[in-house]
Structure 1
Amino acid sequence: MAACADGDCEIAVSGPVTIRVDGPAGPATLSVTEVGPNRIEYTVESGGSRSDNGASGPGQGCLTVLRPHGSGTSCGALGDAARPDPRSGAVVIQVLAGEDGTAIVRVVSG
């Protein structure tokens, strides 16, 4: 999805989509594989590594931080989370499952 190519976007998704971003370790790919009411599943590939993540339930989501030498993800209750703050030298990916079957994906570069 071209809207996120610069590493800064917010989009609503209701089905599978692939989003490419310029990550700190080179090109990164976020592939949303499943979206449903209060559910999202996705994969992040960056710097030769791959991570499968997901969240389900009201107000649930995940935050993935890509850094030059690795990444980390935490999932859980995010509620109506605000857009994440930029982090120096990192790309932050936030996904929020929506009760209507539409998820919000935010990408923020630092």
Structure 2
Amino acid sequence: MTAADGSDAEACGDGNCEIAVREPVTIRVKIPDGPAKLALTKVGRNKVAYKVTAGRSRTSGEASGAGSGCVAVFRSGGSSSSCGVAGKPPGKVDGAVVLQVVAGADGTALVRVVSD
């Protein structure tokens, strides 16, 4: 997989990035409730898992299978997430930060972060 920002996790610090990673990594991002840590905990062939920690709040997800992925949307005061077949890259959502992780057949995970 190729990504607009290569494999540079620091590109996500401004709330907008697309990176490809081959191993677990921790990325610092800013969500509406403040700073957060996105940890890709599993990266493998058609497999990806993540956990986001912000203060006392946590959300996580895991997907496996061809074309699988997860999307999480962070708004002030809460978040929602779902995993399954990866869709198109996320668009901007007013007042929110959107995270998408997509598992690749080559063992690479694509991470996209989009903020308004």
TM-score (normalizing by structure 2): 0.89
Q: Identity of counterpart residues, as a percentage?
A: 56
Task: Please tell me the residue identity of whatever aligns with 2:68.
Answer: Q
Please name the residue that 1:67 is paired with. Answer: 75
Partner of 1:55: 63
Deviations 1:28-83 (A, max 9, x none): 111001101000011011252112211000011000001111001011112xx332
Q: TM-score under structure 1 normalisation?
A: 0.93
2:34 alignment partner in structure 1: 26
Matched residues in 1 for 2:49 and 2:36: separation? 17
| Displaced runs of 4 or more, over 6 A | none
**C-alpha separation in 2, matches of 1:27 and 1:102:** 26
Unpaired runs of at least 5, structure 1: none
Give the aligned residue type for 1:88.
D
Q: 2:112 aligns with which of 102, 106, 110?
A: 106
How many residues of Structure 1 are paired with residues of Structure 2 in the alignment? 108
